[in-house]
């Protein structure tokens, strides 16, 4: 999201875009977290130059022959400057090796089709195989309906891969970013050992408008926000961006065997 001289949506203060960038795309006044692209995140999470992407060239096909899907993908590619809605790789965080996956909401709303499901699954399985902690930054509107039933099946696929990591006893950390909803919430995003969230992130299964349509009333202020999910018990901690790298590093240390083996 471009923040160029636009007042902060939370406090209304106007800041120089550079000041916002320097604050990791947060409002220098109130700490409001703007949405952030994967490449910008890698810069503050990973040790400089350590990120090596894998499964970089996986591309979506059009499994249900939906008219216009290919065009939609090319548009998304240009808009997000990514080949798909998730990027996966290995990197170090304070010299500790990890698998890191990051989703982009700019790429078709971060929706999960075959490629997103496959790349997330490969990241989880790589973690299991090579005994590397897996960290995923999630943001998604849910399953990618343009791939029909295949997108629904990616929920089962990523959950199956998460089970593999679980059985291997390798830690899985997730950071829920604004927004994380639908099929991503109802699969790998809710299956981590430690579930972190960015301040103010919308996190839920059904989208707010769908719920309002069902119950025919307005949702209370703050419904489904990270702070609400913390209160309801579905998030371990809310972590501002500037504290994420240090916290992840400490969590990795805390998940190495504590019994001295």
Partner 1 sequence: MPNTDKLAKKLQELKKLAEESGLDVTEELSQLETKVKTASQSEQVWKRVELARHPDRPYALDYIERIFDDFIELHGDRYFADDPAIVGGLGFLNGRPVTIIANQKGRTLKENIFRNHGMANPEGYRKALRLAKQAEKFHRPIVTFVDTSGAYPGLGAEERGIGEAIARNLREFSQLKTPIVCVIIGEGGSGGALGICVGDKIYMLENAVYSVISPEGCASILLRDSTKAKDAAVMLRITSGDLLDFKVVNGLIDEPEGGAHLDKDGAAQRIKEVLVRELDDLCSRNPSVLVRYRNLKIRKIGHWNEGTE
Question: Which residues here bind partner 1, judged by CB under 8 A?
Answer: 56-64, 66-67, 83, 113-115, 117-118, 121, 143, 145-157, 159-164, 166-167, 182-183, 185-191, 204-206, 210-211, 213-215, 219, 223-224, 232-234
Output 74 or 214, the one with its CB closest to partner 1: 214
Instruction: With beta carbons less than 8 A apart as the criterion, state whether 80 and 87 touch.
Output: no
Output 28 or 207, the one with its CB closest to partner 1: 207
* Residue whose structure tokens are 């994420």: 244
Tell me the longest C-alpha to C-alpha distance in the chain: 58
* Least Å from the CB of residue 142 to partner 1: 8
Output 233 or 260, the one with its CB closest to partner 1: 233
* Least Å from the CB of residue 159 to partner 1: 4
Output 19 or 156, the one with its CB closest to partner 1: 156
* Residue whose structure tokens are 């990890």: 98
* Residue whose structure tokens are 């590397």: 132
3-state secondary structure of 85: coil
125: which DSSP letter? H
* Least Å from the CB of residue 246 to partner 1: 27
* Least Å from the CB of residue 234 to partner 1: 5
CB-based contacts of 150, cutoff 8 Å, min separation 6: 63, 64, 113, 114
Output 161 or 226, the one with its CB closest to partner 1: 161
- Half-sphere exposure of residue 252: CA atoms within 13 angstroms, side-chain side: 21
* Least Å from the CB of residue 85 to partner 1: 13
| Of residues 166, 173, 137, 136, the one with CA closest to residue 254 | 173
């Amino acid at each position: 999201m471009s923040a160029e001289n636009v007042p902060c949506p939370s406090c209304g203060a106007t800041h120089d875009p550079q000041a916002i960038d320097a604050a990791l795309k947060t409002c220098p006044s109130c700490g409001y977290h703007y949405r952030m692209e994967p490449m910008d995140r890698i810069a503050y999470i990973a040790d400089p130059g350590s990120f090596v992407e894998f499964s970089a060239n996986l591309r979506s096909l059009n499994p249900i022959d939906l008219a216009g899907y290919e065009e939609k993908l090319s548009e998304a590619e240009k808009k997000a400057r990514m080949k798909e809605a998730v990027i996966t790789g290995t990197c170090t965080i304070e010299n500790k090796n990890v698998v890191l996956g990051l989703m982009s909401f700019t790429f078709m709303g971060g929706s999960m089709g075959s490629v997103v499901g496959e790349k997330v699954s490969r990241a989880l399985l790589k973690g299991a195989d090579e005994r590397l902690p897996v960290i995923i930054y999630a943001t998604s509107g849910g399953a990618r309906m343009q791939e029909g039933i295949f997108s629904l099946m990616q929920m089962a696929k990523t959950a199956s891969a998460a089970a593999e990591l679980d059985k291997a006893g390798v830690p899985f950390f997730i950071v829920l970013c604004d927004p994380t909803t639908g099929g991503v919430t109802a699969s790998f995003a809710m299956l981590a050992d430690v579930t972190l969230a960015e301040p103010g992130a919308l996190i839920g299964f059904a989208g707010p408008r769908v719920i309002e349509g069902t119950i025919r009333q307005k949702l209370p202020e703050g419904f489904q926000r990270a702070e609400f999910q913390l209160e309801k018990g579905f998030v371990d901690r809310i972590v501002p961006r500037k504290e994420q790298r240090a916290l992840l590093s400490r969590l990795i240390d805390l998940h190495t065997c504590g019994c001295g083996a």
